[in-house]
Structure formats: structure tokens, C-alpha cells
Amino acid sequence: MEDSMGTVGISFGSPIGGTGFNVSQTVSQIVANLQNVETPWQTQLSQTNAQDTAISNLGTLLSQVSTDMSNLANFQGVLAGKQGSSSDPNVIALTSASSSAIAGTHTIVVNSLASTSSGYLTEITNASDTLSGSLTIQVGSGTAQTITIGSTDNTLSTLASAINSANYGVSASVLTDATGSRLSLVSGTSGASGGLTVTSSVTDATTSTALAYTSATAGANASLVVDGVSISTASNTVSTVIPGVTFQLLAPSPIISGSAETVQVQILNNNTAVVSSISQLVSDYNAVISAVNAQETNNTSGAPQPLFGTPTLAMFQEQLLGAINQTNTQGNIGNATQLGFSVNNDGTISLDTSTLNTELNQDYSGVVSFFQNSGSWGLDFSTTLNNLGNSSPTGMLTLDLNANNAIISSLNQNISNENLLISTQQSSLTTELNQANQTLQSIPANLNNMSEIYSAVTGYVNPTL
């Protein structure tokens, strides 16, 4: 049997043997020949899918480089970060230095710490004794609040719960020691403005003992001198005196040689974090270049990698290397070499962190300008990354993926259409060959019938039938 796709041999055996032929096997051979038309499409589909995978991988690696650059080019990024130190951490502990802090040194003398007003009622022997009377609480210049003891709050613990639930601006608890139990009150506002004024007419009804209020600590503001300016603050956590800096007052400045110690608080640019971020940029950039270089080789089977020799790979590599080597027109740093960058023979880059640290120490603002100013190396490099990647709808890799997807869609449609045609032909062939096979299988019976008729007419008997 022959068609335009090739020849299929059908073994009939003896034409009069009645065995026929294997229809299923014959149809499978014919279908296999018909499917040969799909081979070029399947090959192209496999190649295009492999290219898509390689392009997507480059896009993923490049997006990490973009993230690294965003951290360096962002005004609130790593280059804005600060770190600080205290010359006497027993007196002042630096809590944080935000991006709004300005590098420099500040002098601080702590005269006294802020305190929070607190006090307590007279202790009683049995904490479960029944109480009566009332308690009036005033925080600072606020409204005085009176709680009259009733059946639901007539013990120390239930009275404390009632005070806390009423949100009077005071925290109540029960303190118990060897002498007994007492109601403790602590102002919710530190400093002088949170001073407690408490009037107690509470009585232990079980023992008829009056529970007077005793002030334990008076509310007071911290007193300190910052850069020669006297400061009063209600809290020992100070965040509004030095812009962007928060520090904790731990103790008054000790007296040394008759004078209160002056604590030096130093705010520094976070060079360590900057070096780490730039090192990460170099590492992620090199991962991209290594992936590009890998596409310029053969795989383990000796076949070229999916992007080998493609315009996409050549343009991608050319623009990346050009972006690294471009000059900087903003600030004192003319190119990445001054920051310790050097380009290796394979296109990867190395970073001399000693050179980078020197530049950070000598011209930190110049490094900031290099990455952040309008028209700077950093912003130009970020633009190149955006133009190349697949995160932008107009990025080169995005456009290549879109073009490949169109090809993949067309190939799949061709294959689907061809499979539908082959399926129709397979059904038709199966029907036709089954009919032919039935005809072949009926030949012996037909011949026997003819022989019998012939014998009946002529009297001749064919000994072979």
C-alpha cells in the first residue's frame, strides 16, 4: 500500500488461505508514516521550548541584579543606612539610627533619668479580705476618676482588675511578700506629666483597717545636655533630640574628676552594609554572565546550547558589558573601577573591597552620587537592566519570549490539526482494511461453494478442496 508519505507492505499469505492480514498493525504502520510530517514541527517546538527555558532563566537571574541595584539606587536604601556607637554604653545605649540620621558626633551629659509615678495601698495580711470604700485616681492634670467598691470588686485582685478595665491611665496589680499583700498603682505616663494623685478611703472590712495610699516614686522628667543644649524629656527612650537617632538613657553620667562624664554618641555611615550590598550585586551579576557563557558551549551530548549563536544572546551580552564599563558623569567617581570593580576575561567582574572601603571613607557622598544622581552610572545601569529583562513588558527578553510563544502556539496548532486529520484517516483506513480483510478471509469459502456447484453440474470432484 503506497501514499505520498511512503510505502507500507501488507503480508496477505496465501490468497486462498483465508488467513487475511493484521489490520491493526497495518494501520499503525500507515499512521506512523503519516505522522512523519510532524517531525520538523516537533523538532522546532522542542528547540523553541528550550530557548524559552534559557531566556526565562536569564530573566530570573537578571531580576536579582535589578533588585540589588534598586537597593543601591533608592534614596531610602542601603546607602542611607546609619549605624552608631556610644562611648559609655552603661549610660547611653544607641537603639537605632534611621536613614534620616546625619553622620556626625554628638556630646551628651545625663543629669538624671526620667521616672514614672507609682505608689501602693497599705498591706493586708489576707489578700482575700473583703474591702469597702472608694479610691480616687488622677493622672497628671487629667480628670480625677473615682471607683466605688462594690460586691464585684471588693478584694485586692478584683479591685485591680476593675481599675485596669476602666482605663484610668494607670496599671494596677497585687504585690505579695512576707509582710502581706497590697494594691500597687503605676502611672501609664512616664515623666512629670504622669504624676499620680490618689485619695483612698478603702477599708479592710474584715479587720476594719484603713488602707492609705503611699507614693513610692514621683514622676519626673529626664534631664540631659545634648551638644550644649539642656533637654528635658518624659521618657528614658529619647528619639526626638538627634534627628533619626533613638537612644536609651540607662544611668546618670558618673562624676569623674569633679565633673559629669560627657558621653560621645557617634553616627556613622553603614559602610559594612554597603560593601555587603555591592558584593551581592557583583555575585548576582556574575551569575548572569556565567549563564550567558554557558549558552555559548555544547551540552553533554555535543549539541549546541539553545541560545548558541542567537542574536538575543549576542545583544544581551554586549549591552550588559557596555553598561558595566560606562562612565559616570555625576560626582567625583568617574567609573566603577574607582570603586574596586574590574572586568575579567570571561566577562565576570571582581570587586576589591579594600578599594571600595577606602572610597567610602574618603568620599561617601561621591559613592551615593555614583549610584543615585540623575544621569549617574547607577541609574543608567538600572535602565539597561530594565530594558534587557523580562520584568518589563518592553524588555528584550520579554519580547523574545513573546515571539517564541507565538511560534510555539503556531506549531502546536499545526500539530493539533495534523493529528485531527490523521485520526480521521486512521478511522477511514481501519474501516476499509477491515472490509478488505473480510473479503480475503471469505475467499476459501467462496471457492469451496463454486467447486461444489461445478461438481454438481459436471460430476467432477476436485480432490484438493
pLDDT 10s digits, 143-160: 999 999 999 999 999 999
What's residue 60's pLDDT?
Answer: 93
Same domain for 239 and 94, yes or no, is yes
Domain that holds residue 253: 82-114+221-269
Q: What phi and psi values does residue 38 have, to the nearest 5 degrees?
A: -85, -15
Predicted pLDDT of residue 15: 60
In a domain, 458, yes or no: no
Measured between alpha carbons, how far is 128 from 133 in angstroms, rounded to an integer?
A: 16
Regarding whether 396 and 281 lie in a shared domain, the answer is yes
Residue 401 predicted with pLDDT over 50? yes
**Does 390 map to a domain?**
yes
Classify residue 184 by burial, with Cβ atoms within 10 Å: 0-12, 13-18, 19+: middle
- Calpha distance 405→237 (Å, rounded): 59
Res 215: pLDDT: 97
- CA-to-CA separations, 145 to 134, 189, 190, 193, 214, in angstroms, rounded: 10, 16, 19, 17, 18
389 lies in the same domain as 295: yes
Q: How confident is the model at residue 464 (pLDDT cuts 50, 70, 90)?
A: low
Is the same domain home to 56 and 134? no
% the chain with pLDDT above 70: 94
Please check whether residue 450 lies inside any domain of the structure.
Answer: no
- 300 and 394 inside one domain: yes
Q: Are residues 145 and 167 in the same domain?
A: yes
What is the average pLDDT value for the chain, to the nearest integer?
A: 89
| β-sheet bridge partners, residue 171 | 186
In a domain, 91, yes or no: yes
Q: Do 260 and 304 lie in a common domain?
A: no
- pLDDT bracket for residue 17 (50, 70, 90): low
pLDDT score of 340: 95
Query: Mind listing the pLDDT tens digit for each residue in 110-140?
Result: 999 999 999 999 999 999 999 999 999 999 9
Q: Which residue has the higher pLDDT, 304 or 18?
A: 304
pLDDT tens for 49-64 read 988 999 999 999 999 9
Burial of 300 from C-beta contacts in 10 A (0-12 / 13-18 / 19+): exposed
According to the model, what pLDDT value does residue 465 have? Answer: 46
Which backbone phi and psi does 264 adopt, to 5 degrees? Answer: -95, 120
Quick one: which of 244, 277, 369 has its CA closest to 77? Answer: 277
Q: What is the residue whose three cell numbers read 460586691?
A: 151
In 245-323, the DSSP E strands lie at: 245-249, 255-256, 259-260, 263-269
Q: What is the mean pLDDT of residues 407-424?
A: 87
> In the predicted model, is pLDDT for residue 12 greater than 60?
no
> Do 233 and 107 share a domain, yes or no?
yes
The answer to whether residue 289 sits within a structural domain is yes
Answer yes or no: do 160 and 252 share one domain.
no
Mean per-residue pLDDT, 59-70: 94
> 93 and 50 in one domain?
no
Burial 227-256 (b: 16+ CB within 10 A, else e): eeeebebbbbebbebbebbbbbbeebbeee
Q: Among the three residues 400, 426, 452, which one is the final residue of a domain in this structure? A: 400
How many domains does the structure of the chain reveal? 3
Task: For 312-371, write each residue's pLDDT tens digit.
Answer: 899 999 999 998 988 887 778 999 999 999 999 999 999 999 999 999 999 998 999 999
* Domain stop point among 198, 217, 236: 217
Structural domain contains residue 434:
no
Kindly state whether residues 303 and 389 are assigned to the same domain: yes
Edge-first strand order for the sheet with 202-204 is: 131-132, 202-204, 209-211
| Residue-wise pLDDT tens digits, 245-274 | 999 999 999 999 999 999 999 999 999 999
What pLDDT does 3 receive?
A: 47
Grid cell digits, residue 461: 470432484
- Which residue, 238, 269, 300, sits at the end of a domain? 269
341 - beta bridge partners? 351
- 144 with 280, same domain: the answer is no
Contact 139, 170 (CB under 8 A): yes
| The predicted structure's pLDDT at residue 4 | 44
Q: Is residue 351 part of a domain?
A: yes
Residue 26 belongs to a domain? no
